[in-house]
Amino acid sequence: MKEGLTSLEAETIRVAAAVTELDLPICSEVMAATPDPADPDQAVVVNVPVLVDEINFGDIVRLGAQDECGVRPILEVVVASGHVHMLAAAEDGGVPDLIAELERMFPAYALRFAAANDTVISVSVHPDVDAYDVAAVIEAWLGAGVDDPEEELAIGPVAVSQVGVLLHPNSSSRF
């Protein structure tokens, strides 16, 4: 292990999942995973996805061959963890306040966060907690002070893991 690294950091590998949203100019999202000791071609995702809806924190995934940058593509979700995630967009700089509100309302173990920037966050919800309760808190927090009922809240749908082979980006083919 390298000096100064925790055991988790020393054991993580980089994995990538295809971004299938056609409007985004990004083909994959790179995340961290821990190797599965039971199979060298499997890993456990330890990031909260932001751009990929088909996988979640804690999922066991099957990996393809490492590319020239040392990243292994996620080919398949083998076992879903039960975690789900959703995106929320706060006003400029509002992500820390939204995180503080969620941490106040739910147990510490139940939520994980990945901030895309200071306005967009992906919130992972543990299976012990109802994701729709978390969504309701986010909606209430985002809607506080909104005077126009026509203004849409900036929260995405709950993303559930899709067990099975993942589609290749921008096509109907599989990896």
**Distance of alpha carbon 74 from alpha carbon 102, whole angstroms:** 30
Asked if residue 158 lies in contact with residue 84, where contact means CB atoms within 8 angstroms, the answer is: yes
Query: Could you report the per-residue pLDDT of 100-109, keeping only the tens digit for each?
Result: 999 999 999 9
**Distance of alpha carbon 175 from alpha carbon 69, whole angstroms:** 18
Domain-by-domain residue ranges, the chain? 7-82+160-165, 84-159
Query: Could you report the per-residue pLDDT of 146-158, keeping only the tens digit for each?
Result: 555 555 568 999 9
* Model confidence, pTM: 0.84
Instruction: Give the per-residue pLDDT at 1.
Output: 44
For residue 16, pLDDT beyond 90: yes
**Distance of alpha carbon 88 from alpha carbon 131, whole angstroms:** 13
- Residue 81's pLDDT band (cuts 50, 70, 90): very high
Q: Which fold has domain 84-159?
A: Alpha-Beta Plaits (3.30.70)
